[in-house]
Structure 1
Amino acid sequence: MMYEAGLTVREIADRCHQNVATVHLHLQVREKYQTGLRAAHEAALNDRDPDRPSTKWRKCLEEVIHFQSDHGRLPRNEGDAQEQRLFSWIAVQRRSFNQGKMSKAKETLLGSVSDWATDTNQRDLDERWRAKLIDLQDFVSEFGTMPRYKNFVSEREHELGVWLHNQHQRRTEKKISEWRLELINAVLPEWKRRS
């Protein structure tokens, strides 16, 4: 039945916990007695979603689930070879999902991995950006002026002045993301005027 439904020999072997060669041999014998079995299999296989979760894909998913369970986090790129391989696999899944190319079956199965669709590097960058904006807001509240990157009084002023200068440049070059621009405009409307 599984073969007629379009499952591959490897998928059947994995689901039945059998050797691939054993399943293959069984199906060869069955084809002698059930005419049209192979044609039905190939038709069903062609109708399946080309982005279906393969056995290899499912094994990678299991490894990621175990890794997250053992370490309390997703794999990172700076770990050992296995962790880097899992990190790369998740990055490929995330890219496929963000481009709208992922099958619903894979999306559903990945639901058991928390935070898999979040680009952790971008999330960290965004958190640091928000922290800088809060620090800038505190500075302006404390001193009543925007920080300067030239002729600064303290290292904190210099650091915030450089950061603010970079935001001005990104805005001018239209390289600042829309949400960042909206947030900085809402928090400090006077930031556009250079002091």
Structure 2
Amino acid sequence: MAGWENSRHPEWDLMYAAGLTVAEIAEHCHAPLSTVQRHLQTWEEREPGQRAIHSNALALRQRHQAAKHWLQQVQAVQDFIASTGRQPLPQSRGHEQTLHHWLARQRKAHSEGTLTPSQVQALDWLGDWKTPPRQQTLDEQWRSRARELVAFVERTGELPHYRRYTTEREHTLGVWLHIQTQRRAQGRLLPWRQRELEEAVPRWRSRE
């Protein structure tokens, strides 16, 4: 056990053992950096093992600080989404761009399996954080077109044609549906998109 009662500066020793750096101790105690450094070197010689105690405490402290900062970033993204109704965008600047890059790193970490379960749980409060903003936009555009298709079928009782069409609107929907049919045949249609089409419009394969 360290004999702090025999030290000239026991408060420095306690701070050092708690993981504070030499610079932090010097600043907090208004002491010259070189003086604090010499004292701690002498203390290590008198009480071997203090440096190891400090290193372990510093590592633990840094982990706590990193966890605290990480949760603050989650809160910052959550506040941004609450105020804007969307995720931070890649083509943004300043604070929004910082949030976008941070969230992108979390997606990458998740894909690599390096996020902890508690981190994933915290990020889930953000909504669909795993899908990048651009992909979310594309998905919403796809769903919008699918809703237009459903409305067309309900109104006409038929699927839209992409060659023998009667209106430009039918042509647009017909081409879109034909693309979905081709992607399905090629195995490139996302499963959830195929599922939504089959549920909304049975026999949805495109027609000429």
1:173 corresponds to: 186
Which amino acid in structure 1 is aligned with residue 181 of structure 2? H
Q: Is the 8 A contact 1:52 1:103 kept in 2?
A: no
Residues in 2 aligned to 1:45 and 1:4: alpha-carbon distance in whole angstroms: 9
Q: Does 1:92 align with 2:105?
A: yes
Which amino acid in structure 1 is aligned with residue 115 of structure 2? M
Which amino acid in structure 1 is aligned with residue 80 of structure 2? Q
2:73 corresponds to: 61
Residues in 1 aligned to 2:94 and 2:194: alpha-carbon distance in whole angstroms: 39
Q: Is the 8 A contact 2:81 2:88 kept in 1?
A: no
What percentage of residue pairs aligned between the two structures are identical? 28
Q: Is the 8 A contact 2:150 2:201 kept in 1?
A: yes
Q: Is the 8 A contact 2:74 2:123 kept in 1?
A: no
- Decide whether aligned partners of structure 1 residues 147 and 68 sit closer, same or farther in structure 2, where only a CA change above 3 A counts: same
1:117 corresponds to: 129
1:192 corresponds to: 205
TM-score (normalizing by structure 1): 0.68
SS at match of 1:102: coil
Q: Is the 8 A contact 2:162 2:207 kept in 1?
A: no
SS at match of 1:153: coil
1:39 corresponds to: 52
Q: Is the 8 A contact 2:160 2:207 kept in 1?
A: no
Q: Is the 8 A contact 1:76 1:87 kept in 2?
A: yes
Q: How many residues align?
A: 185
Q: Is the 8 A contact 1:77 1:87 kept in 2?
A: yes
2:165 corresponds to: 152
